[in-house]
Amino acid sequence: MALPLDPIGGFQILFGAGKALKNWWKSQRPLSKLLQGAADNNQPVRIFVRDLMIPAGSPLLSKDAGGIYYVPNVENLWPRVEGLGIANVLNVLGQAGKVKKIDIIEMSKDNGLWESHIFVMGAQAQKCYDFYSQMKNVAYYVNSEIKDKQTNQIIPRENGYGYGVILKAINPYFEKGVGFLIGGYGVLGTEAANYYFWKNAVKLGKQFGSKCFGVIVRASITAGIGSTERLNDYDKVFE
C-alpha cells in the first residue's frame, strides 16, 4: 500500500539539504581560494619540518602514566610544536577535501624540493631563510627579529608574548604554485602561528582570497595558546 505524499515534509527535507549544501559551499569556497592549487587532489603538496638528531649514546627517555623509560634505537625526532603544526595543516587541507599527494619532508632530506605547493613549518631554519629569498611576494621574514621584507622595519615585540607569522607567497618553481610559511620567534610564536592558521583558515580565505599576504599573531606566555590574537595593524596583502 502506497503511503500518501507529504509535500510539506518533502519541502522541509529539501530546504534542510539545500541549507546544509549552502553552508558547506560558503566554508569550502574561502578555503579553496586560500589554498588554491594546494587543495587540488591532483597536485602535489610538500610539508617541510625540521628533524632533530640524537647523538649516539645519548639516552632518550619516554614518560607515561607507568613511569619513565629508556627508548632505544631512536635517532631522529620532530620538534613537538612543528608536529602539532603539521597536524593543523593536515586538518585544514582535509577540510578543503585535500587527501592525496601530500608528503612530509624532513629538512635534512631536502635537496631543493620546490616543485610543488609547499608548507614550511617554523621560521628560523635554513629552509625558512630560503623561503624568504626564493618565494615571491613575501611580506615578513624572521631572524633575530620579525622584519617587514619590503622596508626592513622591525616589528616591535612586547615582553611576555610569543610572536608568530603566517605567510602566503608565490612559488615560482611550480606552475601556479603557492607557498605557506607558518612559524615564529621561538616555540610559542610558532605554536601561535599554526594554531591561528588552523582556527582561522576560513577567515583568512574570506579576507584575502587568493592573494599573497602576511599576518602577525601573538600569544601570552602566561595565558597560553588559547590567548592567541592577530595584530591586524600589521596585515599585509599583495594586490
Rounded CA gap, 39 and 99, in Å?
9
**Domain ranges, ordered by start, for the chain:** 32-51+78-238
Band of pLDDT at residue 60, cut at 50, 70 and 90 = confident
Name the nearest CA neighbour of 163 among 124, 193, 196.
193
The answer on pLDDT for 130 being more than 50 is yes
Q: For 182-194, what is the mean pLDDT?
A: 94
pLDDT in tens, 71-114: 777 777 778 888 899 999 999 999 999 999 999 999 989 989 99
- Predicted local confidence at residue 51, as pLDDT: 85
Host H or E run for residue 222: none
Contact 182, 90 (CB under 8 A): no
Reply yes or no on whether the pLDDT at 149 is more than 70: yes
**Three-state SS at 54:** coil
Mean of pLDDT values over 179-185: 95
Contact 121, 182 (CB under 8 A): yes
Bridge partners for 217 per DSSP: 164, 230
Handedness of CA 91, 95, 98, 100 (dihedral sign): positive
Residue 140: pLDDT over 90: yes
Check residue 11 and give its pLDDT. 55
What single string gives the DSSP state of each residue in 166-185? Answer: EEEEEETTSTTEEEEEEEEE
The pLDDT tens digits for 6-39 are 666 655 554 454 454 444 444 468 999 999 999 9
Helices (H), 77-218: 80-95, 126-134, 186-208
Phi, psi of 71 (to 5 degrees): -115, 115
Going by pLDDT thresholds of 50, 70 and 90, the confidence category of residue 53 is confident
* Residues contacting 68, CB < 8 A, separation 6+: 61, 62
Query: What integer pLDDT is reported at residue 40 of this predicted model?
Result: 97
Q: How far apart are CA 88 and CA 70, in angstroms?
A: 30
First to last CA, the chain: 64
Q: Which residues contact 170 (CB under 8 A, 6 or more apart)?
A: 135, 136, 137, 177, 178, 179, 212
Q: 163 - beta bridge partners? A: 185, 218
Cell representation of residue 225: 595558546
Where are the extended beta strands (E) located within the chain?
45-49, 52-53, 61-64, 67-70, 76-77, 102-106, 117-121, 140-142, 146-148, 161-171, 177-185, 212-220, 229-230, 236-238
pTM of the model: 0.85
Residue 69 has pLDDT above 80, yes or no: no
Mean local confidence (pLDDT), 186-208:
96
